[in-house]
Amino acid sequence: MASHKYMLVGWAVLVGVPLACATPPRKPGDVGLHADGVPMFEPCPEKALEIMRYLQLFVGEAAWIQLDANQSSAQSITLHDGPIESVLEEDIGTLEAPLRLYGRVWTGGEQPVIRYYEAQFLKGRDRIPICAVARLGFGQLRKRPESKPGTAILNSPRAGFYIVDAFR
């Protein structure tokens, strides 16, 4: 009887160890950083890719956004590392403006990296997963020299919102 008890305990340990060592799933935006503070590659979740296909959001499509919903009237804005809420100004795919966009900002490099993971219609529907980034050409999203660590002071409250299939 005692050997049977030890066998059950041993089996429980063998089965439980892989479960205890398994890493929990990462949340979007939970990525490693390069030495300069810029986030590393991050794949777009399969569910987001599926929803974007359904909504006719194709890689490379773009629209204008207000980068920070709380600073939309400002001439220059200050972004901080962490979550961001932006506003879509133009329709894209089957998404109609205005629309809330939720993502994350990293300010470690010469210009902030802004990745969007969710969108929400203003009429109270659920958030939907997406993969998009904020961009401006010709270095226009570059932070101003007086930006302190953990912040990015930008000359414009607007940027381009681009659909992507992975964050590079």
pLDDT of residue 25: 54
Distant-in-sequence, close-in-space partners of 127: CB < 8 Å, separation ≥ 6: 102, 118, 119, 120
Is 117 in a helix, a strand, or coil? strand
pLDDT of residue 37: 87
pLDDT tens for the chain, 168 residues long, are 554 444 333 434 444 444 444 445 567 888 899 988 899 999 999 999 999 999 999 999 999 999 999 997 788 999 999 999 999 999 999 999 999 999 999 999 999 999 999 999 887 778 999 999 999 988 889 999 999 999 999 999 999 999 999 999
For the chain, the residue count is 168
β-partners of residue 135 are 160
Domain ranges of the chain: 42-167
The CA-atom distances, in angstroms, between 158 and each of 75, 88, 136, 154 are 10, 10, 9, 9
> Hunting for tokens 């935006």 — which residue is that?
29
pLDDT of residue 29: 84
The gap from C-alpha 3 to its chain's centroid, in whole angstroms, comes to: 53
Choosing among 1.10.3720.10, 2.60.40.10, 2.70.150.10, 2.40.128.260, the CATH entry for 42-167 is 2.40.128.260
